Amino acid sequence: MPFELKLLSGNSNYPLAEKISRYLGVPLTNADVSRFQDGEVSIKINENIRGTDLFIIQSTQAPAENLVELLVMLDAARRASARRITAVIPYFGYARQDRKDQPRVPISAKLMANLITTAGANRVLTMDLHASQIQGFFDIPLDHLYSAPIFLKCFAQMELSDLVVVAPDPGGVHMARAYAKRLGASLAFIDKRRPDKDRAEVMHIVGKVKGKTVIIQDDIINTGETLTKGAAAIKDRGAKEVYACCTHPVLSRGAVERVEESPISRLLVTDTIPLRKGINSKKIEVASISDLLGEAIKRIHQEESVSSLFY
């Protein structure tokens, strides 16, 4: 008989934690995840968690408060003698600086891995990391899920034909190829340059898009520059229609407007990050990853395989 499964959530994505809780039929652990008057994070777990298999659900999108909440919850859980603590991080923030490709830059993804481990995580469950080598930044077990099965199901229901899947940069070709294979589509990619950290320019499109229905697949939409400029270039080259899917809807200021004004017909995202209040776009649709995460939590708890959830 495995030890008791418990769920704890911070404030970064409470609606997702509630959905996972419903899927598993396990209530969220009673806790105060609040602030002291000066703004510092204050945590108090209000029930006994000694000896439990505890899953702490917290995405770490900006602001850094979300990360601090996760670290402080981990510390509280470790000191309260949870037997095993899994950090469930649907969106793993600070992942974009994942190698030292210029002088005087950090490897922030490695720093995050160190902080999360030091704070008390025994394992990590996450999804569509910005770069899969980040898995190796952790010296604790890490389960890495993909949103692909969810998006592929949505696209299959749309019954699109004459498809080509486009990777928004050469780094995305591997995943785009997996989509293309599953959808019976051809493959293309964008040669993208970044003149500045929050700007993107399309240099070339490698592959045939003329007369095709295009799906651009990416992990993150932040400013929306990558996706919308890519979509415009693809449309200029004669594509019939452009769809897009991005796992993590960071959607910083101006991104939704860019999507609205772009030739993208529909943009599918997941709920690893909640959409900011006030976002109201007919083009953006949210497909929930709650059941996938819930199932993965159940299997980790029951020591069963997680890899069959990849397809």
Known catalytic residues are 192
**Cα end-to-end span (Å), the chain:** 29
Closest-CA residue to 91 (of 220, 279, 255): 220
Distance CA 200, CA 165 (A): 20
| Strand-pair category, 213-221 with 201-206 | unpaired
> Which of residues 55 and 92 has its CB atom nearest to ligand R5P in the complex?
92
Minimum distance from CB of 12 to ligand R5P (Å)? 19
Q: E strands along the chain, which residues?
A: 5-9, 31-35, 41-45, 53-57, 84-89, 123-127, 142-145, 163-167, 186-193, 201-206, 213-221, 241-249, 264-270, 284-287
Residue choice 71, 85, 190, 220 for contact with ligand R5P (CB under 6 A): 220
| Strand-pair category, 31-35 with 41-45 | antiparallel
Distance CA 172, CA 229 (A): 16
- Looking at residues 11 to 70 of the shown chain, list those that interact with ligand R5P (rule: CB under 6 A): none
The span of 76-84, 218-226, 232-240, 279-287 binding ligand R5P (CB under 6 A) equals 218-226
SS3 160: coil
Q: Is 218 in the site for ligand R5P (CB under 6 A)?
A: yes
In the stretch 143-182, what mask flags binding to ligand R5P with x, by CB under 6 A? -------------------------xx-------------
The span of 73-81, 148-156, 202-210, 212-220 binding ligand R5P (CB under 6 A) equals 212-220
In the stretch 222-241, what mask flags binding to ligand R5P with x, by CB under 6 A? xxxxxx--------------
Minimum distance from CB of 164 to ligand R5P (Å)? 18
Binding site for ligand R5P (CB under 6 A): 168-169, 198, 200, 218-227
